[in-house]
Amino acid sequence: MKEDSPPRQNYEDALLDIVREMSVAMRPPAEAEVTVSLDSALEGDLGFDSLTRAELLTRIEHRFGVSLPEQVLAQSDTPRALLRALLAAKDLPPGTSGAHLKLARPAPAAQAPDDAATLPDVLRWHLRSHPDRTHIILQDGNGEDTPISFAQLHHRAAAVAAGLADHGLQAGMTVAIMLPTSPEYFYSFCGVLLAGGIPVPLYPPARLAQIGDHLQRHASILANAQAPILITVPQARPLAALLKASTGTLHSVLTPAELEGSAGAAPDARPRTLDIAMLQYTSGSTGSPKGVVLTHANLLASLRAMGKTLAVGSQDVFVSWLPLYHDMGLIGAWLGSLYYAYPLVVMSPLAFLARPERWLWAIHKYRGTLSGGPNFAYELCLRKLTNADLAGLDLSSWRFAFNGAEPVSLQAMRAFMERFAPYGLRPQAAAPVYGLAEATLGLTFPPLGRGLLADRIDRAEFTRTAVAVPAGERDTAGERETLEFPSCGRPLPGHEVRIVDATGHELAERHEGLLQFRGPAATSGYFRNPGQTRQLFDRGWLNTGDYAYIAADEVFITGRAKETIVRGGRNIYPYELEQAVGAIPGIRKGCVAVFGSPDPDSGTERIVVMAETAEKDVQARRALHRQALKTALDVLGMPPDHIALVPPHSILKTSSGKIRRAACRERFEHGRPGRGVQAPWLQIARFGWRALRPELRRGRQTAAGLSYALYTWILFAALAPATWLASVALHRPTLGWALSHRVARLFLRLGAVPWFVQGLEHLPRDRPCILVANHASYLDGIVLVAALPAPVCMVAKRELQGQRIPGAYLASIGADFIDRFDTVREHEDVERVVATVRAGHSALFFPEGTFGRAPGLQAFRSGAFLAAARAGVPVVPIAIRGTRSVLRDGQWLPRRGPIGVVIGSPLWPDGADWPAAMRLRNTARAEILHYCGEPDARRMTHRDARRA
């Protein structure tokens, strides 16, 4: 008997062994006796979060040699459900085995619908020309592919349109669509168009059990879009009342099956070419929804321009795992195939995430010619796929492998092309592209068959003059002397780009500035958002928000506009000098800040270099100062005005791993951290405290408690709005964090909260770390900001990003947001945290994810610990005591009580794999449990379950 192929009757035992092994690995030895049965709830009983379930799925597939559908990752909540999926899949060949059969290229179709004026015109044209032609091939992850013809698409879409008309949809109304990758998505989208409505794609939940929280995250989009109907899965119907109250416009939550069950006739809507075809909502850091208005004219212009550039035809094949709520997957993949009649082979993002090789084997099987994704897709294949996963793979048909991430990683693309060259992938297929929703997806594409093109330029000249001067032969091997940017190609036909300075004047070739564009695919603005629309336009041109330069008609993206500072009409790139000074022995790498500070005597800005060093010897520090001065001369061509050598852990950093230069400047200007001028509103708060103190001493205990609660809310009302306004208005995370730190300490002090911090000496001063803390109250964030002596990247749940007030504030202090419900996004978010930590920046997690009214330490999610294990950095456990008693969930009257913060010793991972992360999680949780003063909620749940 082979180890990886147990007898059928032993499948149950073998599966439970895997689940039990992982459950034991997730818990300390004292809790290893937890009972695991076929009906144990993976999340509720065993604490398997989404990342842990992904690991479980991988182990099951490797153990049994099967390929499970992506729905297993999203919907299987018990081992019994996993067993059903396993037994069903065991009778099928593995997911890649069937892929060795290459299918013939599709037959050519009739000429493309060049005369069509709208998307419904395109669909009707194909219905007349070749109704039985296969349009979509939907891969469900278990070896079965579902073809959809143009006739089938139109028939089912017409049924949806009839149902929408029965529910009162009129031409021009918006309809939100929140469905997973499925046939119903395509039917619903086209059905809305045929009914004369405007589709509004929303991303669906990765797990149906979390759909309530997920829908609430979309309330602001639904309200902005004024959508009266939401098409989604059946589990969302009970939440219709909640969404109606949240949006004020939504009156129906319907499923595709309900819409198709209508007995009415489909309306004969005939939209015009300039009518809105869809709203593409972009994710904003302030939570204010921005729905990009895309007309039929915009979409058709973009599809025709991209098709012309790529010379596509009906014999092409597009293979996609990209989400259909994203413009790259919706417009680039599907609508492109709808227009040109080439087959779209599409799979769920969960299928790709669970088994990345499915993407490549689909290209092999269907002889895919067009496919791609962001950096994440290429890096995931490089990291997870083994040679055994790729045996027999043939990627020779892949002619356009696009990368649309910002910025495109040359390193990742080069590594991917090199790794898969033995499998037939030609280097000429690599294609960095640039686009944005405001341009209806694509804006610049490279010429076909060219491959990667990078521009190596003189680093010093670019820093001094913002001119991209090609590097000389002597500099081609020097990292410090050169910079390298990938070309994203040339503007699509009919579109123009230009580079302008801050005054709007167009710049010459190879001069860096703001990238603007115009053309037939350019949006007319944001839906019901005139303020953001005004900021988008500049005298007929649209702002991209990116810096770039043009060389030989090629566009080179250099970064976001806010990252560069201007002094005396010259662009200075702080990170260039920071990297150079950070390379000096004795200076902490990645802990250097360069910024401008106003000089009151001359009226200009001084260039200040602040660098961390652990060196205390006077002579050694003088030598470091001289070396930093010489390095600055080499990089800038002029000496800096001031070089400040500061102790370790003094440089503040952003959540994305960048230096918080404004906060460093503030510290420099105030002489010492923590010393500053007291703002007038803080003085008013002190006066209010003195006025309320006599009242708090009088009356009975209840009156005293109410008075204290009232006082704290007045205090909060006095401090929070000003802090929020200052942080958001400045939009500088460094200043926002520094201000919040001072205000939080002031709030606790003025609120007479007896609090303490213990163990500050345990915080690493010479290396990044991941801090994890228990979560018991809304006060936890304030307490931690007040307790930590230096800023960290606070990792928050992504639903806060969509809330106007907390989302805008958290973004202003440099917080990062992680999606707990979309598994693809959660994996991407964890990878981003790993990159941030590897770059030398610490991150703070609340691994419980949320909190409730009842005391008790909940199970920890695994993301923080997977990131620590992957990055090879320590976890610092932080126990917060007393905040739940001061302000309990569900109550609005805080009470006075002691609060403590205990910082534990750093815990190092003993490996980079999942078991190492689980051991790290167990140790950190035990440490926090020891000091937080609350019981183990997980153990109480298990005890209650046994009693039941």
Q: What is the DSSP string of 611-673?
A: EE-----HHHHHHHHHHHHHHHHHHHSS--SEEEEE-TT-S-B-TTS-B-HHHHHHHHHTSST
- Domains in the chain: boundaries: 8-92, 119-355, 374-433, 464-563, 567-651, 753-945
Number of Cβ within a 10 Å radius of residue 39: 11
pLDDT beyond 90 at 542? yes
Give 798-840 as a DSSP string: GGGGGSHHHHHHHHHTT-EEE-SS-HHHHHHHHHHHHHHHHTT
- Per-residue confidence (pLDDT) for residue 680, from 0 to 100: 36
DSSP secondary structure code for residue 561 in this structure:
G
Q: Which residue has the higher pLDDT, 80 or 941?
A: 80
- Please name the residue ranges forming H helices in 1-149: 11-25, 50-64, 70-75, 79-90, 119-129
Residue corresponding to tokens 């995370």: 733
Q: CB of 192 within 8 A of CB of 222? A: no
> What is the mean pLDDT of the segment spanning 805-820?
80
Most confident of 278-287, 446-455, 593-602: 446-455
In percent, the amount of the chain with pLDDT more than 90 equals 43
> What is the mean pLDDT of the segment spanning 1-8?
43
Q: Which residue has the higher pLDDT, 605 or 687?
A: 605
Most confident of 141-145, 358-362, 821-825, 827-831: 358-362
CA distances from 247 to 192, 288, 580 (A): 20, 14, 52
Q: What angle do CA 182, 186, 188 make, to 5 degrees?
A: 105
- Please name the residue ranges forming H helices in 116-272: 119-129, 150-166, 183-194, 211-217, 219-225, 240-247, 256-260
| C-alpha torsion 772→776→782→785, nearest 10 | -10
pLDDT beyond 50 at 97? no
- The model's confidence at residue 563, banded by pLDDT at 50, 70 and 90, is very low
Query: Which of 16-20, 285-289, 711-715, 812-816 bottoms out in mean pLDDT, i.e. has the lowest?
Result: 285-289
- Please name the residue ranges forming H helices in 813-936: 823-838, 863-871, 883-886, 914-932
- Per-residue confidence (pLDDT) for residue 701, from 0 to 100: 60
Residue corresponding to tokens 């980079």: 912
pLDDT beyond 70 at 828? yes
Query: Which of 672-681, 762-771, 800-809 bottoms out in mean pLDDT, i.e. has the lowest?
Result: 672-681
pLDDT beyond 80 at 280? yes
Q: Which residue has the higher pLDDT, 738 or 378?
A: 378
- Per-residue confidence (pLDDT) for residue 562, from 0 to 100: 52
Query: Which of 380-394, 426-440, 555-569, 863-877 bottoms out in mean pLDDT, i.e. has the lowest?
Result: 555-569
pLDDT beyond 80 at 771? yes
Query: Which of 93-102, 233-242, 657-666, 750-759 bottoms out in mean pLDDT, i.e. has the lowest?
Result: 93-102
Q: CB of 402 within 8 A of CB of 461? A: no
Q: Quick one: tokens of 509? A: 């070739």
- The model's confidence at residue 264, banded by pLDDT at 50, 70 and 90, is confident
Tens digit of pLDDT for each residue in 701-734? 667 778 888 888 898 888 888 888 888 887 777 7
CATH architecture of 8-92: Orthogonal Bundle (1.10)
Task: Give how far the C-alpha of residue 110 lies from the chain's centroid of Cα atoms, to the nearest Å.
Answer: 41
> What is the mean pLDDT of the segment spanning 742-749?
90
- Per-residue confidence (pLDDT) for residue 588, from 0 to 100: 85
Give the 3-state secondary structure of residue 705.
helix
Q: CB of 584 within 8 A of CB of 631? A: yes
Q: Name the maximum alpha-carbon separation found in the chain.
A: 89
Instruction: Output phi, psi for 459, to 5 deg.
Output: -65, -45
DSSP run (H or E) holding 416? helix 410-420
Give the span between the Cα atoms of 551 and 533, in whole angstroms. 30
- Per-residue confidence (pLDDT) for residue 90, from 0 to 100: 61
Q: CB of 476 within 8 A of CB of 499? A: no
Instruction: Output phi, psi for 176, to 5 deg.
Output: -85, 140
Q: CB of 885 within 8 A of CB of 897? A: yes
- The model's confidence at residue 215, banded by pLDDT at 50, 70 and 90, is low
| C-alpha torsion 272→273→274→278, nearest 10 | 90
Task: Give how far the C-alpha of residue 552 lies from the chain's centroid of Cα atoms, to the nearest Å.
Answer: 34
Task: Give the β-pairing of 496-500 and 513-518.
Answer: antiparallel
- The model's confidence at residue 394, banded by pLDDT at 50, 70 and 90, is very high
| C-alpha torsion 327→332→333→337, nearest 10 | 130
Give the span between the Cα atoms of 111 and 929, in whole angstroms. 68
CATH superfamily of this structure's domain 464-563:
Luciferase; Domain 3 (2.30.38.10)
- Per-residue confidence (pLDDT) for residue 883, from 0 to 100: 92
DSSP run (H or E) holding 845? strand 843-845
Side by side, the strands of the sheet bearing 875-881 are: 755-758, 899-903, 875-881, 770-773, 843-845, 793-797, 816-818
- Per-residue confidence (pLDDT) for residue 671, from 0 to 100: 72
- Per-residue confidence (pLDDT) for residue 687, from 0 to 100: 30
Q: 524-527 long-range CB contacts below 8 Å, 24 or more apart?
A: 524/293, 524/295, 525/293, 526/290, 526/291, 526/292, 526/293, 527/224, 527/225, 527/276, 527/279, 527/291, 527/292, 527/293
pLDDT beyond 80 at 392? yes
Give the span between the Cα atoms of 888 and 893, in whole angstroms. 9
- Per-residue confidence (pLDDT) for residue 473, from 0 to 100: 56
- Per-residue confidence (pLDDT) for residue 20, from 0 to 100: 86
> What is the mean pLDDT of the segment spanning 607-630?
90
Pick the CATH number of 753-945 from 1.10.8.290, 3.40.640.10, 2.40.30.170, 3.40.1130.10: 3.40.1130.10
- Per-residue confidence (pLDDT) for residue 110, from 0 to 100: 61
pLDDT beyond 50 at 101? no
Mean pLDDT for the chain overall: 83
Give the 3-state secondary structure of residue 7.
coil
Which residues are CB-contacts of 542 (< 8 A; sequence separation ≥ 6)?
A: 438, 439, 516, 517, 518, 522, 523, 536
- Per-residue confidence (pLDDT) for residue 74, from 0 to 100: 65
Instruction: Output phi, psi for 279, to 5 deg.
Output: -115, 125
- Per-residue confidence (pLDDT) for residue 599, from 0 to 100: 65
Q: CB of 347 within 8 A of CB of 141? A: yes
DSSP secondary structure code for residue 288 in this structure:
-
Report the candidate in 387, 365, 323, 393 with the shortest Cα–Cα distance to residue 144.
Answer: 365
Give the span between the Cα atoms of 42 and 54, in whole angstroms. 12
DSSP secondary structure code for residue 732 in this structure:
-
CA distances from 668 to 607, 642, 672, 786 (A): 12, 10, 7, 20
Query: Which of 262-266, 353-357, 842-846, 905-909 bottoms out in mean pLDDT, i.e. has the lowest?
Result: 262-266
Query: Would the pTM of this model clear 0.75, i.e. be above it?
Result: no
Whether the CA torsion 234, 239, 243, 244 is positive or negative: it is positive
Give the span between the Cα atoms of 907 and 846, in whole angstroms. 16
- Per-residue confidence (pLDDT) for residue 737, from 0 to 100: 76
- The model's confidence at residue 840, banded by pLDDT at 50, 70 and 90, is confident
Number of Cβ within a 10 Å radius of residue 755: 20
Domain 119-355, CATH: 3.40.50.12780
pLDDT beyond 80 at 656? no
Task: Give how far the C-alpha of residue 744 lies from the chain's centroid of Cα atoms, to the nearest Å.
Answer: 28
Give the span between the Cα atoms of 393 and 419, in whole angstroms. 12
Q: Which residue has the higher pLDDT, 483 or 183?
A: 183
> Cis bond leading into 407, ω under 30°?
yes
Task: Give how far the C-alpha of residue 135 lies from the chain's centroid of Cα atoms, to the nearest Å.
Answer: 31
- The model's confidence at residue 287, banded by pLDDT at 50, 70 and 90, is very low
> What is the mean pLDDT of the segment spanning 361-390?
92
Tens digit of pLDDT for each residue in 568-586? 445 555 656 777 888 899 9
Q: How far apart are the first and last CA of the chain?
A: 40
Q: At how many degrees (to 10) do helices 618-636 and 574-582 cross?
A: 140
> What is the mean pLDDT of the segment spanning 271-276?
94
Tens digit of pLDDT for each residue in 632-645? 877 666 678 888 89
Pick the CATH number of 567-651 from 3.30.300.30, 3.40.50.300, 3.40.50.2300, 3.40.50.720: 3.30.300.30
Tens digit of pLDDT for each residue in 133-179? 999 999 986 667 999 999 999 999 999 999 999 999 999 999 999 99
Number of Cβ within a 10 Å radius of residue 889: 13
Give the span between the Cα atoms of 215 and 667, in whole angstroms. 42
- Per-residue confidence (pLDDT) for residue 438, from 0 to 100: 95
> What is the mean pLDDT of the segment spanning 305-326?
94
Give the span between the Cα atoms of 820 and 409, in whole angstroms. 26
In percent, the amount of the chain with pLDDT more than 70 equals 82
Query: Which of 83-87, 152-156, 651-655 bottoms out in mean pLDDT, i.e. has the lowest?
Result: 651-655
Query: Which of 163-172, 280-289, 426-435, 520-529 bottoms out in mean pLDDT, i.e. has the lowest?
Result: 280-289
DSSP secondary structure code for residue 857 in this structure:
B
